[in-house]
Structure 1
C-alpha cells in the first residue's frame, strides 16, 4: 500500500536530506521591522469601559497597572497605545528577579572607561568622555524631557524583587532622577552626552539630572501572581482584563486573520474553549492554530493540535 504524499506545508521532513525550501509568510504578529520604524499595528480590540480606564490613566499622568491571565492582551495594549497616539518606538523593561530601578534608569561601564582611559593615555590621546560609557535604560530614556510623552512597557512586574514596586515610588512621584557619576563632574564639564535605550544617538544631560517635561505613558503588566504594596497601588490606575468569551474570540480571529479564516475554524474555537476550562490557554494559541489551518496545515493530525493548544499551567 502506497503512503499518501506529504503535505506541502512540511518544510522539515526529519530525513536528513538537505533541500531548498521557500518559507511561507509569517503570522502578522511575528513579522519584524527595524526598531527605528513604526510598523502598522495589528488591530487591538478593547471594550469601551476598559478603554475609558486607559484614558483615565492618560489624563491623570499615572502608570496603568494591567492585570489578567496570560493571553488577554496586556503587553499588546501598551503597543497599541504607543502606535495610536504616535508616541514613537515603545520602550520596554522586561522585569526579572535581578531587575533594579537603577539599571532601568541607567548603566555605567566603569571598567570599560578605565580600560579606554588607560589606552588613551598610553597613546597620548585625549581621554574619552565619561558619557561614552553611560547608557540610559528604558525607564531613564522614558523620563527624558520631550514635547510629547514617551511610552514605556514595564512587563511582568510580579517577576521582580518584592521591594521593586516601592523602589519605583519616588521616580513615579517626582519624574526625576540623577546620575551621580555625572553630578560629581566640575562645572566646566556639566553638560555630558549620553546614549539612550532606543539607539537614537546621544542626549545632553546637565549636571547629571534627568527631569521629564511630560510624565511618560507607563503600562505595567502583572499576571496576578503577587500582591503589590498599597503605596504602589495608590499611584497606579488599575485595569483588569477579563478572559475573552466565545463571541470575543471570534471577533479577535476575524480581525487578525479575516472572516474566511474564521469560517473554517469553528472546530478549533470549540476545541480551544473546551480545553480552556481545565487549564489555562492564551488567545494567541488559538490564533496560531487558525493561522496554521488557513495555511493548509492538517490540524486534525494526531498530536499537532495538542502541541498548539497546550495548557500553560498544570502538568506537562
Structure 2
C-alpha cells in the first residue's frame, strides 16, 4: 500500500485519475480462483490453492478428528470471525480432498435443491427442437444437475468435502430433512428411476464445471461419506435427532495470544510491531459488543500499509459492531 498521503484512491471530487490498485489483503485475493474458472478441467488437474493459515488448538482438532473417524457431520458453532467456515477448507487442504463444495443456507434453501435440479422445461424445449430438425433427442442427463450435497455424495475412492454454511438461517424443518441423507448416504432421483432398463445408467452434471457422475437406476450412493462441516451462529436450536447425528465443536473467541498468532500467520511477524494499541482497542470493544477477528486483521493491514486509522472515525468504520442497529 502507499503512504498515508497517497493511500486515497477515491477523492470524491469527480476528477478522473485511474490509479494503480494496491495489493489486496491476502484473504481477499481471487487470482487463483479466476485461473481455475478459465479452465474447467483445472479443478481436477491441479491441486486447489492453499487456504489462508488456520490456527486451531489440539483439543479442538481432536473433535474434528473424531468426526472424521466416525464419518459424522461436524457441527461448528461460535461467535463471528472464529473461523467456522474456514475450517472446512483447512481440513480439505490437509487431507487432500480438493475444492470444498459450498452450500450457503438461506430461508429458501431446501434439501431437494441441494441434492439435484431437473430442468423439465429445458428438456421439453430441446427435445421438440431436435424432433423438428429430425435429430437425435438429447439425453435426460443433460438436464439433471447435482447440487452441492448431491455432488458430495458422488461415489469415489476419496471422500469429498462439503461446507453447509449457517444452517440456522434456514427453514426450521431443514435439519430434519437432512436426517435420511446423512444416515443413509444416498438419495433417489425419481425422474431417472422411471426410465426403461436400457437407460439404467445415466450421466448427469455435477456442481463442478466439466464433471459428470453416473447415476444407476435413479439412485446415487456415496462410497465414502463426505467430510461435512456445518456452521451455525447459534440463532436457533436444532432438534435432538439432528444433533445426535453430528459431532459438535464450539469455537471460542480467540484470546489476546491467539489473536497475535493469527495476525502473525496472515500478515507476517513484522506486523506485530503495529498491533499493540489496535489489539487493546479491539479487545476492549469486543468485550462490550460483537466483533469478528477479521476486523482486527483489516485494521492491522491498513496500519501496516501506512494508513492513519485515527483520522476522523476511520477505525470506527473498520471495527464497527456486528450486532444491534447499524
Residue 40 of structure 2 is aligned to residue 42 of structure 1: no
Q: Give the SS at the match of 2:52.
A: coil
Residue 178 of structure 2 is aligned to residue 178 of structure 1: no
Q: What does residue 168 of structure 2 align with? A: 158
2:67 to 57, 61, 65: 57
Alignment of 1:1-316 (within 5 A): 7-32=5-30, 33-34=32-33, 35=36, 36=43, 38-316=48-326
TM-score (norm 2): 0.94
Gaps of at least 5 residues in structure 1 are none
TM-score (norm 1): 0.97
**How far apart in 2 are the matches of 1:224 and 1:67?**
7
Question: Contact (CA 8 Å) 2:4, 2:306: kept in 1 or not?
Answer: no
Q: Give the SS at the match of 2:288.
A: coil
CA apart distance, 1:141: 0.3
User: Aligned pair count?
Assistant: 312
Return 11-20 or 222-231, whichever deviates more. 11-20
Tell me the alpha carbon deviations over residues 111-166 of structure 1, each in whole angstroms, 9 at most, x when there is no partner. 11111111111111111111111100000000010001000000000000000000
Distance 1:6 1:176, change over 3 A: closer
Shift >4 Å, 4+ stretches: none
Gaps of at least 5 residues in structure 2 are 37-42
CA apart distance, 1:6: 7.1
CA apart distance, 1:101: 0.5
